[in-house]
Structure 1
Amino acid sequence: THEKNYLCIKLLCGAEKVVVSKLKRVSNGAGIGRGGKASVLKSLTMRLLYVVALAVSCSLCPVWTQSSSSCSGAFDFIFVVDSSLSLADHYKDSVVPFVEDVANHFVNPDFRLSIITFDEYVHLHLPLTPTQDREAIKEGIESMRNVAHGIGTDLPAAIDEALTQISNKSDSVKVVLVVTDGLWTGNIFRGVVELKKLGVLRFIVAIGNVDEEEFLQFVDSLDQTFIGNDFLYLQQIIDMVIERTCVEVTSIQPSQYCQDRNATDLQLKGRGFTINLNRNRAQCRFQTDNGPIVTRPVGEITKYNMTCEDPGINKTGTYVIQITLDGVTYVTSSVRLVVADCKVVRAVYYEV
C-alpha cells in the first residue's frame, strides 16, 4: 500500500486518552442533561473505537531507532540526494544521518554504497564502495555533509551520474533512492529508461507538499514513494525499502547429495523471490570455481520459496547458487550445494 499516511499517524497516538476521559465524564453525568446523555455516549463510543484503531496502528509504528532490517544479498545502493537551498534546514540534521545510518548498519562486502547530491550541479561524494571500507565511507559522508547548497535541482544529470556508477556486474540488486523536497528541472525520461534496462529498482523519499503524479516519471507506481511532512521517519523508511528490494537465499534442500542419486528438484528458502519477477526468465544457476555453469528453469515461486529443477550435476564438488528473477540480475547467495561421491565417503547426504 501507498505510504503517504505512514509518517504522520503517530500524531494521533494519544487521542484515545482524551475520548476515554470524556466518556467517564458523560457516564457520571457531568454537565449533560439526562435526555442527551445516551446520544453523547453513543457518539463518543464510536469516536473511541476509531481512535483505538489508530492507536493500535501507532503501536505498530516504529520509533526513531537505528535501522533494523538486514539482508545478506548483494546490493548496489545509490543515494541521489537533493542538496538545494530549500532542503538546507533538514540536510545536516536529518538527511546526512539517514545516509550514515545505512552505511553503518549494512557493513558487508556485498553491500556497496554510492552517494550523489544535486542542485544546479551534480556532486559525486562516494563511488560505489563496499561498506566494509570504513575509511572511504567516512570520507564520502563528510564530503556530503559539507556540500554547498545551490538553487537548482538538476535531477536528470544526477541520474546520469548514477548510471555511470551502476556496476556492470550482474550479481547484485541495484537500487537508486532519490531524496527530495520538491520539483526538479529537466526531463528524466531517457535516464529512467536506461535504469529500467539495467533492472534498477527505483524509490523516492519526498518531503512536504509535493506533486505525486510527477514522481510517476521516475517510479513505476506510488508504492515506490514515501511522502511525509518532515524527515522524522527517514530511518524507518530504509527498513521498508530494504524489505521491498532484498533478494536472498537462506537455505537449500537437499543441500548435499550423492552424484548417482535419482533426479530431485531443489527447494530454496529465503525472501524477495517475487521482486521484479518475470516468470519466463527466472532461473537457478549452479557453478564451481573452475567448472561449467549449469542453468535450470524455476518451478513454483512464492515470496519465500522457490523450486529449482534438478540440475543434473554428476561431478563432485561444492557449487555456488545464483538466482535471477528477471533474466538480468543474478543474485549470489552464501548457500552452497555439495555433490559427493558416496561410494568413497561412505555416507548418504540427503537431508530430511
Structure 2
Amino acid sequence: MEIGVSTFVEVTPDVNTGKVISHAERLREVVEEIVLADQVGLDVFGVGEHHRKDFAASSPAVVLAAAASQTKRIRLTSAVTVLSSADPVRVFQDFATLDGISNGRAEIMAGRGSFIESFPLFGYDLNDYNELFEEKLDLLLKLRDSEKVSWRGGHRPAFTNQGIYPRPVQDPIPVWIGSGGNSESVIRAGLLGLPLVLAIIGGRPLQFAPLVELYKRAAAKAGHDVSTLPIASHSHGFIAKDTNTAADKFFAPTQHVMNVIGKERGWGHYDRASYDAARSFEGALYVGDPVTVAEKIIHLRKNVGITRFMLHVPVGSMPHNDVMSAIELLGKEVAPRVREEIAKWEAK
C-alpha cells in the first residue's frame, strides 16, 4: 500500500488576510513539501498541471525536477498531465529527463483535464476533446515503448523513424490514466493495461468499487495480469494532531476554492454542512487526526481495492507550516498504521 501527496500548487487568497503569495514563492514551498515527503517516508508526490492564475504549476515536470536532486526515494509524478492539449513528444522528453535526474523515479499521470484553459492556449478545439486524448495517448505509449518511432495522426504533424531522446532510466516509464469516474476512461485504462488513478473527491468513495471492478474486467479481457495493476485514489484531505483542529483549519480555504470553481461550473453553494458530511467515515474528505485518516484509508483499501492513496493537500491556500505538518503526520503516523494493518489483512 503506497501513500503519498498531490498538489495543484494553489495561489488563492488567504481566507483570513486576503493576501495572495507570488507564484514563485508557492513553487519554492512545494519543492520543500516534496523534500519533506521524501524524508518522512512517503512513496509518491504528484503535481497537477493548470494554466490559470490561481494555480502556479503549468509545468509539473519542471517542479518535480527541482526536487529530484534533493530527494532519494520518493516517486515523482504529474497529477495530471493534460495530455489532450500537450505535445506527447515533449511530455515524454520532459519526464524522461526527470527520470534521469531522479534515477528512475518519474511517472506520468495522463488525463483529459477537467480544466479547459489549456485548449485555447495551445490552439485546440474542445470539440475534439476525446479524440485528442486517444490519439495523443497512443503516441505517448509508442514513444515510451520504442526508441525510434514512425507516427501519423490527425492533430499533430507526422514523423518517420525519429529517435526520441533522452531515454528514461525505467523501461518502461510508468504511464497512469487519471479518471474522474468516467466508465469509458476506466475501460480504456484496463484494455491498455495501464495503472488507474481515480479522483475520489465527492460522494461516497465506496461507490467507486464498481468502477474498479469494471477496470479489472477490461484488463483481464485484454489479457493483462490484473494482480500486477496498481489502482490509486486522489482525495482531498488534511491532518492535524486532533480532528477538530484539522476540520476547522481545512474548511475555509476548501470552501473558497469549491465555491469559486462551483460558480464557474454551476455547482451549488459549498457550506459547512456539506463539508462536515464529507468528513464522515463514508465521505470523500480525509480530514482529521492521524488515526481517523488512517482508518478511512484502510476502509478504502479493503472495500474499493485502492493500492495507492494520494492525499491532495491543500485544496485552497493554507499556511505553509500547516501543510508541512500535515505531510509529516501523513508520513510518520498515518502511513505506518495503514501499511501495518493492510499487511496483516492481506496475510490472512
TM range (shorter): 0.3 to 0.5
Task: Looking at secondary structure, tell me which structure has more helix per residue.
Answer: 2
Higher strand share: 1
**Greater RCO (Cα-Cα under 8 Å, separation 6 or more):** 2
Could you tell me the TM-score, scaled by structure 1's length? 0.32
